[in-house]
Structure formats: C-alpha cells, structure tokens
Amino acid sequence: MTLDVRRRWPVGLTLGLLTAVTAAPSLYNRFVYDDVPAIVENTLVHSLSAAPAIWTSGYWPIGLLYRPLTIQLFNLEWVLGGERSRVFHGVSILLAILTTLLVWRLASRLLPPLGAGIAAALFAVHPVHVEAIANIVGQSELLAAIFAVLAVERYLVWRKQGAIGLGRRLILAGFTLLAIFSKETGYAVPLLIGIAELCRFRPPRRAVLPVFFLQFAAVAVALLIRLGVLGSVAGEVPSASVAGLGIGARAVGMLAIVPEWARLLFWPVHLQGEYGPPALSLIQSALGYRLLGAAILIGGLALLAWSLRRNTAVAAGLLWMVVAILPVANLLAPTGIILAERTMFLPSVGAVLVVAGLLDSLLVRAPLRTRRLVAAVGILLLTAAAVRSATRATVWRTQSIFFARLVEDAPRTYRAHYVASLFYYGEKRYPEAEREARAALALYQRDAHVHEQLGQVLRTIGRCGEAIPVLAEGVRLSPQETTARSRLIECLLATGDTAAARTAAAAAVRAGLNEFAATVRRLGPAPQPR
C-alpha cells in the first residue's frame, strides 16, 4: 500500500497543479452575469441565520429550480469573504482540482495507469469547463460532478470487493442526494452507477438490486422535497425556442444540436456564453445539421457496440455522455436552454474516458516511434487546451468585458444581445441597451421578453410612441405576461390615449389578470356615444 501511494501522489500532485494553473486567471474575476442575482442580490446568501430558509426556497426568486446545497455553499463563502469575489473563485478552483483528482481515480478503475492519467489531464485543461469554473454560479456544476463521480468510483471499488453492505448503500444514496441538491443533473447518478455495473461486471446482478433500490429511493425523496418546496417536480420555465413543442418535434430538432455537443466535448476551439436561435435552432436548423447529428449518433452506436466487447472504458464513456446530457437535452421535458457550455462539465467525464480508452487500444501494440509521436502531439494539444482555457477565463473578469465579448462571440444568437441589453439598461447606458435590444429583435421575434425589453428602453428615454407597438406585440405573444401590459398602459397614458389604455386594462382583466382591475376603476368607464 505504501509503495502504491508513493507511485501515485506525484501524478495526483501534477494533475492538481495542472488544473490550478489552468484555472488560476479566474481568481481575479468579479461577480459576473448570473453571479449577481444568485449571490450579490440574494439575501439568503448574506447571513448564516438564513440557512434554514435556504433549504425551503428555490434557487431563483422566480422559477422551478432547487439547489439548496449550492446556495448553502455560497452562504458559507459570503460569511467567510463577504463581497470579495476572490474567495468564491478560490473555492471554485479548489472544487475543480478535487473534480480532476476524482476523475483520475474513476479512470484508474477503468483504464491502465497511463490511460487514467491521460483522461485526467484532458479533464484538467478542457476548455469547455471554463464557464463552470470562471463564473461562480458554475459551482453547482462542480458540486454535482464531484458527488456523481465519487458515487460511481466508490461503487466500482466496493462492487469489486463483493457484496455492498447497507452502510455503503446508504453512503451511495447520500452522494446521489447531495448531487441532486447541487444541481438537477444529479438525478442522473443512479443511471451512471448502472453504466458502471453494465460495463464492468457480468451477471448475475441480483446482489446489487438493493443498491439501486436505495438509489431510486433517494431520487424519490429528492422529488418529494422539491415538490414540497416548489410545488412542482417540473424543471425551469421553458425557453421561448422550445416552448410549445411536443417531444417528437423536440427530438427531431435536437438532432441539430448533436454536432455542437460533439464539437464542445472533443474540439472546443470556439466558445461563447449563450447559444440559441437563429444561429442554433430546433425549428429552423438546416436539414444538413440534423443529418449530421443523426450520423454522429449512428457512429456512436457503432462504437458502443464495438467497445462493449473490447474496451469497457470507451463503452462507459459513451454511455456516460448520453446519460449526463439527457437532463438538459429537451427530451424528457423542455428546459430553459438549448445548449450551455456549463452543462457539458459532467458529460466531459465521459468524453475524456472515450479519448483515453481509444488511445489505450490504439497504442497498446504500437511501435515505440508511434508512441513517441502521439505523446508529442498530445503534449502540444494539452498545452494548447490549457492556454485556451486560461485566456478564456478572463472573459468573466468584469460585467462590461463579459457582455461586450458575449455579443462578439455569439453575434447571431438573439439571447446574447437580449441579456446584454438588460445589463446596459441596468447601467443606464441607454443607447447601448437600445442597440442590443433591436439586434435581438431583428434576429428573433418569438420571445415576448425581447419586445418587453425594447419597449421598456424606449419608454424610459421618453419615446413611448415607438414603444407602444413593440409592447403590444409582446402582449400578443405572451398574454399572461403582466410587465409588458403595465408598460403598454403607461405608454398609452403618456401619449394621451386614455381610451386605448382603458381597453388594454380591461382586456387584461378578461384574460384573468385581476391586478389590472384597479387600473380599470381608476380610468373610469368608457364614455358613452352621444
């Protein structure tokens, strides 16, 4: 045992340092983008006395997300460092190091030492991880991945030792609960454990049924707690680009997203903070993208069939990617995103297992010269990936830098312009806010929030005449949206059109929005014709 530790600790130290050096630039980032509402403006984070309320509250003030462990960690970090973002980023880097080391341990259960080291090194520098590490709210991804990888790694060890006793089954169930309370991707942990069982062990499997009974009991408990807190087991409010689509339409549409998943996991040269239409659309994507997505899936199935017989690490990695992506794939239910780089953090564990497993199979009988060539190319790629990750982390340095880069990196993604407009509006930079809102609307007209945002900017700068048709279209797209209606009525009154304001308020009441009844009363009855 002592000899094994002596051999392994230099590798672990190297992997930890590689992760730390790659992530180090994010230490100087401030609170950016979602960090602001989730941490800076979230009163639950600012006092230890709020801890009980954290576990009985949603992640956002509005929405159906429940991540109490993540908020609890933010709470402890705030108590430790207050508004010093460096404390939060330091914790993110430590969590990233821990995840890399756990991925190394997991890979060691599936691959020879060299292959395990390659998998962990790839994970340490993977550019798709930058968003999860450089943006503080990405700690939810880090925590969920830590508990997921730990659960699967421990399962492999304990399963190899024989029957898994009640105490260990409870520990595994506890890891699953902790992953779920970190982020909703934690619901995939029982399936990830199932992948380990399927790929690594042979039937009979009756002895492990109690493990999976407790796993799904943990999922049921988490769902009941979520239902009690949020009043629903559904996910967050669907994005405008997937709302109203049935499962068939979503499945066909998501074929166009498969090439982007593959690119981000295996060749993430270009990165951006927002993805969506029209650049990436479930409905309007060209047939070629869907065919390419279908071809990638068919190729993956063929590789899976081969690897199940010859290389269990590759098989486990392929299945891991599928299961880890499933919660955000808009198949089981529509989600608030089409794609986000932070959601690739857990799937990337499978990706590095696939790459390391394939290299192990290809090089096991290769001549020494070939091995040296592959090693040299591998070192160059690792260096390039580390540099890409380190430089990309600085995009989250400040709010201004982030939103400027956001629209530069994703010029044909309407949400990039929309959220940039929200930022500029909050900063009272109204010309930039109008410019980005108009850019968003030019790219995509189906999201009522974009109409609302442009209308609000125009209303604020005293151009209600221009705002009225924009806000009216927002109301038409989302009849139950109250904010756009309120601003529409305000603009109608500002332009002297009391009759139209009265009509708009009455229409709102007829639509069931009774908060507008007071406006109807205030404006009085419509004048009778003489």
Taking residue 427's Cβ as centre, other Cβ atoms within 10 Å add up to 13
The predicted pLDDT at position 316 comes to 97
CA 319 vs CA 142, 198, 493, 516: distances in Å: 20, 10, 59, 52
With a cut of 90, say whether residue 493 has pLDDT above it.
yes
The predicted pLDDT at position 530 comes to 54
Structure tokens at 230: 């949020």
> What average pLDDT does the segment 89-105 reach?
98
Amino acid (one-letter) located at 315: A
Among 251, 261, 256, 263, CA closest to 293: 256
How confident is residue 523, by pLDDT bands cut at 50, 70 and 90? confident
Q: What are phi and psi of 31, to 5 degrees?
A: -75, 120
Least confident of 15-19, 27-31, 47-51, 436-440: 47-51
CA 272 to chain centre: 13
With a cut of 70, say whether residue 528 has pLDDT above it.
no
Rounded CA separation 329/341 (Å): 13
Spatial contact of 148 and 189, defined as CB atoms under 8 Å apart: yes
What does the DSSP 8-state code read for residue 528? Answer: P
Structure tokens at 211: 């493990």
Please write the tens of the pLDDT for every residue from 425-482. 999 999 999 999 999 999 999 999 999 999 999 999 999 999 999 999 999 999 888 9
> What average pLDDT does the segment 79-102 reach?
96
The predicted pLDDT at position 1 comes to 36
Please write the tens of the pLDDT for every residue from 158-183. 999 988 999 999 999 999 999 999 99
Q: What are phi and psi of 278, to 5 degrees?
A: -85, -10
With a cut of 80, say whether residue 64 has pLDDT above it.
no
Q: Which fold has domain 413-523?
A: 1.25.40
CA 72 vs CA 78, 84, 178, 324: distances in Å: 10, 17, 12, 24
Helix (H, G, I), strand (E, B) or coil at 462: coil
The predicted pLDDT at position 3 comes to 40
Please write the tens of the pLDDT for every residue from 266-308. 999 999 999 999 998 887 777 888 999 999 999 999 999 999 9
Q: Is the omega angle on the peptide bond into residue 367 within 30 degrees of 0, that is, cis?
A: no
Rounded CA separation 54/486 (Å): 32
Q: If you average pLDDT over every residue of the chain, what do you get?
A: 92
Rounded CA separation 477/480 (Å): 9
Please write the tens of the pLDDT for every residue from 371-405. 899 999 999 999 999 999 999 999 999 999 999 99
Please write the tens of the pLDDT for every residue from 105-158. 999 999 999 999 999 999 999 999 999 999 999 999 999 999 999 999 999 999
With a cut of 70, say whether residue 62 has pLDDT above it.
no
What does the DSSP 8-state code read for residue 129? Answer: G
Rounded CA separation 185/489 (Å): 42
With a cut of 70, say whether residue 255 has pLDDT above it.
yes
Rounded CA separation 85/163 (Å): 46
pTM, whole model, 2 decimals?
0.94
Spatial contact of 485 and 506, defined as CB atoms under 8 Å apart: no
What does the DSSP 8-state code read for residue 413? Answer: B
Rounded CA separation 226/294 (Å): 35
Please write the tens of the pLDDT for every residue from 319-374. 999 999 999 998 888 888 899 999 999 999 999 999 999 999 888 888 888 889 99
Q: Where do the domains of the chain lie?
A: 2-396, 413-523
Among 375, 393, 480, 350, CA closest to 133: 393
Amino acid (one-letter) located at 356: A
CA 106 vs CA 6, 109, 198, 350: distances in Å: 19, 5, 15, 11
Sign of CA dihedral 447, 450, 452, 455: negative
Structure tokens at 264: 């981000």
What does the DSSP 8-state code read for residue 39? Answer: I
